[in-house]
A and B are shown apart, each in its own frame.
Chain A
């Protein structure tokens, strides 16, 4: 090839026949609908578990066999308890009598008692584009947070205020970067993105840093807003663990409080506090 004519090459590249037979719009719709059904099923299953378990708790508290004595409550101290079932999401290891988890690390995600009562635990696997990485990718230039070293382990938790997939939700992801330096780099990248990002794809949205340094080793509250909707992202780091929590601003959840609760959970898991 004596001299490469790039324009000509690309023209020929474009002018050839179709590369393949696309799967079609119906396939895209089906996959999308399947994902939606999975979310709804998870929500419904969680509701059934809550209902059944609550019934069991209620049955245990009903006096039987003519006795009027009610069995003692296991934890009389502390604030008024919420129903037992809602205190223990299914993904958490059950504690032994000395309070230590039976196996593996303690789930470092938020627990039911950490979120407003109207929210119910929905599951530990969240599909969708809720994470800050996706929002960041809509910036110009895209801030590719995914290029920050890949975390070794991650946990997720979803809590929903209602049973439909459209109901407001609190989504959380915790990732373990192993090293605090790597985790710090990630938080720095998020902070930088929030300061620099101008979203040009889709509806215009802006980022705002609302609060910083209120929990854990580092903490930021970000607001992603536009077109009448705002999402709050709470990012907290404790040692090599970083969590991001997202929820609609319209649901009036205190980001400082939930960030501090998240930091406490990370502390327990990281055992560095």
Chain B
């Protein structure tokens, strides 16, 4: 575990970078693991996001919601191939030799099932169920109507349930459900 650090003079008053890190890192790693189904990649993306946050910390801490910034940056790193590679180069050596238990079978199954979903469905599921954002907050962040978010959530959940059922039976995901939902949601998005 990283050692505790005394607050520094250049920490903005009342909001130390360490506190921000500790308050967000686990939930963010969990969210990125659900988003990527790759624990090391999730760690790298999260660590890279915090690395980018540090030089901006004095400005970032004045934002209404610094956690939203770091969540968006981490998700963007995860969804860009070259940014993922850069994050891995920078942080892979930091992976601890002795890990905690890691994701159990149920978490692995859910992450792998999520990985079969279209990116936008996976994204809203993760934002809603793991980041605990409201429909309105997701709609504002993704710049779509609340109805679209509900539609993506509905389709995402249906596809996820299908993927989990078929994974349990040992057969591939039922593509028909996935396709129908993709078509329905595409019509709503300009």
Contact = CB atoms under 8 A, between A and B. Distances in A.
Interface of A: 1, 4, 6-7, 9-10, 12-14, 16-29, 31-32, 35-36, 129, 133-134, 137-142, 144, 146, 150, 198, 200-203
A138 B98 CA distance: 36
Contacts of B76: 134, 137, 142, 144
Contacts of B143: 139-141, 198, 200
A243 B91 CA distance: 29
A20 B96 contact: yes
B120 to A, nearest CB: 9
Given A28-B51, A32-B51, A202-B63, A19 B100 contact: yes
Interface string B6-50: 000000000001100110011001100110000100110011001
B104 interface: yes
B96 A21 contact: yes
Contact of B130 (A13, A24, A134): A13
A69 B83 CA distance: 57
Interface stretch (B52-60, B170-178, B180-188): B52-60
A140 B102 contact: no
A20 B103 CA distance: 9
Most buried by B among A20, A24, A31: A20
A165 to B, nearest CB: 9
B157 A6 contact: yes
23 contacts: A10-B125, A10-B130, A13-B110, A16-B103, A16-B104, A16-B107, A19-B29, A20-B43, A21-B96, A22-B2, A23-B95, A25-B21, A25-B54, A27-B94, A31-B51, A32-B55, A133-B80, A137-B76, A139-B143, A141-B142, A146-B83, A200-B140, A202-B60
Contacts of B107: 13, 16, 19
- Interface size classification for chain B: 35 or more
Nearest to A6: B157
A227 to B, nearest CB: 8
A25 B168 contact: no
A255 B5 CA distance: 46
B102 A28 contact: no
A25 B2 contact: yes
B141 interface: yes
Given A6-B161, A21-B96, A13 B30 contact: yes
Contacts of A19: 26, 29-30, 33, 39, 42, 100, 102-103, 107
Given A28-B51, A31-B51, A4 B68 contact: no
A31 B91 contact: yes
A13 B31 CA distance: 10
Most buried by B among A16, A21, A203: A21
A248 B185 CA distance: 40
Given A13-B34, A28-B50, A146 B101 contact: no
Given A17-B101, A20-B102, A27 B30 contact: no
A118 B43 CA distance: 42
Interface string B83-103: 100000011001110111111
A13 B57 CA distance: 30
A140 B101 CA distance: 36
